[in-house]
């Protein structure tokens, strides 16, 4: 990585170079603990003053071998692992995983459960986009907008608490449905959120969308054309910002997304500003989807929150203690003694950062033979170093924020 002039100096020779000293580059370690990396990963940059000449991305600082751990765990114990992928939107990961296993086991969920999942996934998408766009604001120097929307994320976390009891690493849902029904408070809070979030998001947009400094900072920065983006296998908002209307929710609908009316916002130039706008608009679309889902749930029979699959879904405790059948199912499920088909499945959901895929090979046993997570951050981030060369340091940093690289998803 060392360029010529640098290696001359570092060698045990007289410090002399025919080169113009102004040509010398220096190495700048961006990370692993840099405020702009928002997590633990590193970029070793060769910098010419403020301009980046080349860079190498180093990942793996929080690699936890989830894929390997998953090979030793029964299916239902893998959900908490998925929490810790993209921890800004864990419910999407949870749901994606449940759906993958349901696909493997060929379980059809009742409509109400599917709508509930849609609600929780869209809420998660909003939290993730809030963080990404808010942090983009922070990285350009505008702090306040971030806190305005972060209050609303707090409220979504309250909804999570209402639904599953946890806030960040949610572990929402079970294979075959949810662990319990959404209570009345949860529904009330979701409705309240639909009312209170739009004004805040509008205020946030007013702070940034036409802010001259912000637009100057982000427009035409790190522009990526659709072909390159597809070549690097990008997905999610940053791909849509380049103008490709690929969204798993539409292209490969899951959890009844085909029944919902919503638009896929796309950009034109694929620059940081377009990514920001795509994410902002997606939040509006998510709100629309949640509203529709709430209406649809009202039309469904109440109280259904899981599919009727006693082989895979834990029976209620009162039945376990009083009923032989339930006790057996309970034992088998908890001990992971369920029979799974010997096959392989791939299921993907539209994660907040892109296509979040689960490739599962089952050998019929209690745990996956092999499980691979297609983590969008990992794939999107590959382009970061090549993209950065020629960029100013400041641009490289907001580019990183707009890619929304979540360290947990980068290193599974």
Q: Which residues bind other proteins (CB under 8 A)?
A: 26, 28, 34-36, 49-50, 137-144, 147-148, 151, 207, 211, 213-214, 216-217, 392-395, 397
State the nearest-atom distance from the C-beta of 70 to other proteins, in Å: 35
Q: Are strands 355-361 and 370-374 parallel, antiparallel or unpaired?
A: antiparallel
Given the complex with other proteins, which of 48 and 71 has the nearer CB atom? 48
Whole-angstrom Cα distance, residue 335 to residue 332? 5
State the nearest-atom distance from the C-beta of 143 to other proteins, in Å: 6
Neighbouring-strand partners of residue 177? 174, 306
State the nearest-atom distance from the C-beta of 372 to other proteins, in Å: 34
State the nearest-atom distance from the C-beta of 60 to other proteins, in Å: 22
Given the complex with other proteins, which of 39 and 137 has the nearer CB atom? 137
For the CA atoms of 50, 52, 55, 60, what is the dihedral angle to 10 degrees? 40
For the CA atoms of 329, 334, 340, 345, what is the dihedral angle to 10 degrees? 130
Helix axes 111-140, 90-105, angle to 10 degrees: 150
Given the complex with other proteins, which of 147 and 168 has the nearer CB atom? 147
Burial call 208-225: b when 16+ CB within 10 Å, e when fewer: beebeebeebbeebbbbe
Q: CA distances (Å), 120 to each of 49, 60, 349, 356, 357, in order?
A: 46, 30, 13, 16, 18
Whole-angstrom Cα distance, residue 382 to residue 374? 13
For the CA atoms of 230, 234, 237, 239, what is the dihedral angle to 10 degrees? -20
Cα dihedral 412, 170, 92, 386 sign: negative
Neighbouring-strand partners of residue 52? 47
Given the complex with other proteins, which of 92 and 396 has the nearer CB atom? 396
Given the complex with other proteins, which of 141 and 165 has the nearer CB atom? 141
State the nearest-atom distance from the C-beta of 395 to other proteins, in Å: 7
State the nearest-atom distance from the C-beta of 202 to other proteins, in Å: 16
Given the complex with other proteins, which of 154 and 308 has the nearer CB atom? 154
Given the complex with other proteins, which of 46 and 114 has the nearer CB atom? 46
State the nearest-atom distance from the C-beta of 312 to other proteins, in Å: 45
């Amino acid at each position: 990585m060392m360029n010529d002039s640098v290696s001359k100096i570092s060698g045990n020779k007289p410090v002399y170079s025919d080169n113009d000293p102004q040509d010398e580059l220096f190495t700048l370690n961006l990370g692993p603990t840099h405020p702009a990396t928002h997590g633990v990963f590193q970029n070793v940059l060769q910098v010419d003053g403020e301009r980046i000449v080349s860079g190498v991305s180093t990942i793996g600082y929080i690699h936890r071998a989830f894929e390997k751990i998953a090979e030793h765990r029964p299916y239902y114990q893998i959900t908490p692992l998925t929490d810790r992928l993209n921890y800004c939107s864990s419910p999407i990961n949870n749901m994606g995983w449940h759906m993958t296993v349901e696909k493997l086991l060929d379980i059809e969920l009742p409509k109400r459960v599917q709508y509930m999942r849609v609600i929780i996934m869209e809420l998660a998408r909003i939290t993730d986009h809030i963080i990404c766009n808010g942090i983009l604001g922070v990285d350009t120097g505008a702090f306040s907008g971030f806190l305005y929307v972060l209050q609303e994320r707090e409220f979504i976390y309250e909804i999570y608490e209402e639904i599953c009891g946890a806030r960040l690493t949610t572990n929402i849902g079970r294979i075959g449905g949810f662990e319990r029904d959404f209570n009345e408070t949860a529904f009330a809070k979701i409705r309240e959120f639909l009312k209170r979030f739009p004004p805040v998001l509008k205020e946030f947009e007013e702070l940034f969308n036409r802010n001259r400094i912000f637009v100057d900072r982000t427009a035409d920065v790190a522009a990526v054309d659709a072909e390159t983006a597809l070549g690097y296998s990008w997905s999610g908002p940053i791909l849509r910002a380049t103008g490709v209307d690929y969204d798993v929710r539409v292209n490969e609908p899951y959890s009844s997304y085909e029944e919902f009316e919503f638009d896929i916002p796309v950009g034109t130039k694929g620059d940081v500003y377009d990514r920001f706008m795509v994410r902002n608009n997606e939040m509006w679309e998510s709100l629309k989807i949640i509203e529709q889902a709430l209406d649809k749930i009202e039309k469904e029979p109440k109280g259904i929150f899981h599919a009727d699959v006693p082989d895979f879904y834990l029976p209620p405790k009162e039945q376990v203690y009083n009923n032989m059948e339930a006790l057996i199912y309970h034992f088998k499920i908890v001990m992971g003694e369920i029979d799974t088909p010997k096959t392989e499945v791939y299921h993907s959901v539209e994660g907040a950062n892109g296509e979040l895929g689960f490739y599962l090979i089952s050998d019929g046993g209690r745990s996956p033979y092999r499980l691979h997570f297609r983590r969008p951050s990992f794939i999107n981030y590959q382009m970061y170093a090549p993209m950065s060369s020629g960029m100013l340091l400041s641009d490289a940093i907001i580019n990183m924020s707009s890619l929304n690289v979540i360290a947990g998803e980068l290193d599974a």
